[in-house]
Structure 1
Amino acid sequence: MPPAHRPALSRAHLTIFTLLTLVTLLTSCSSGPDPTVRVAPTAPTAPAAASGAPKSERPAADAPAAPAEVAVPSVGITSSLMELGLNKDRTVQVPPAEEGMTAGWYTGGAVPGQIGAAVIIGHNDTRFGKAVFHDLKKIKEGADITVTDKSGKALHFTVTATESVAKNAFPTEKVYGPTQERALRLITCDGDFDAQGHPVDNLIVYATAS
């Protein structure tokens, strides 16, 4: 189970984490077949820690419940959550294209509702059509995001900002880096398509616990 608090990363760890995250987000969504997305079974937290993701410092019995569902009522989004870890090549997993209507929680980040940055990733479109976060671009500042954990507890977050960024200029530290807030980030693809049919931008939604 990931930690409730993300300790500050060393410069070396942050550099490694920046590179692996950037590579992943460059290939995380596609309107057509995308052979660069390598999806694997859920990765355990130990490999994530070895690549710069924080290690748990809490006893397992004291760990918070993992998230099970995310909902954004204002734009009609409701999805169960799969767990996303790391691929064998150390890139961050994304939901399989054939499960495009299901978002995923990155287990190398914080648990939603705990101190730190919790990250949920979902496709905008896949080769199968519209995906879970297709309408995320319609979200407004002040909107509610509800994350329900596996114990049935509903956690509410308020959107503080949205940002559309080029994938080759992704603000990795801002999104994944340490914070003392109980923060949540939703990430999907955005913008125009390149020659291979892949969106060139990412949409990032920033929220904090209500």
Structure 2
Amino acid sequence: MAEVKLLGLWYSPYTHRVEWALKIKGVNYEFIEQDPQNKSPLLLESNPVFKKIPVLIHNDKFICESMVIVEYIDDAFEGPPILPKDPYNRAIARFWAKFFEDEAEALGKSFLSKGEEKEKATEEAYEILKVLDNQLEDKKFFVGDKFGFADIAANGLGLYMGILEETTGIVLATREKFPNFCAWRDEYYTQNMEYLPPRHEVLAKFKALFPAASVAK
């Protein structure tokens, strides 16, 4: 039987993308919690370029970067497909996954930065939310009629953005401004609770990690 290990953090959205894919495929794996302040020799060996989680170890081979790992899992293991089979839909799924990766920094800074940097990031965040609100009109999924690759990539928006809002007291996504996005986010968490970490536990962790975040308003 293939040996599978996952180096990660239990509260990390990037780690949970990988765990989600492993669960969809029904893959048994060993989770090895990492300390971001004291990186293990195994992490440094397995990801010498970026030195960060998550890392999947499959039969002593190392795969890094969360969505690269998700795609690897889809190809390497039997089970329900994560990427669409249709070439066009596959391209669209990869497009949205890249969109989430590219825009994550601005969304994070809108909560956790200060001054001019925060103002600029907040403006960018509103533009991102406008795009998503338009995209999600009358839709449950980003591609086609089933959950898949792009939706896994969107877990930061589906769970963690709301937690940052509650942690900092800064609410970017209101139902008045972004009704389609808010409706999607509500259903996203409700329908996928079995694949996501307990919200109250992540919220407690984020409040401990960012105790002064609310003063950055």
TM-score for the superposition, normalised by structure 2: 0.27
Name the structure where helix makes up a greater proportion of residues: 2
Higher relative contact order (CA 8 A, sep 6+): 1
Computing the radius of gyration from Cα coordinates, the structure with the larger value is 2
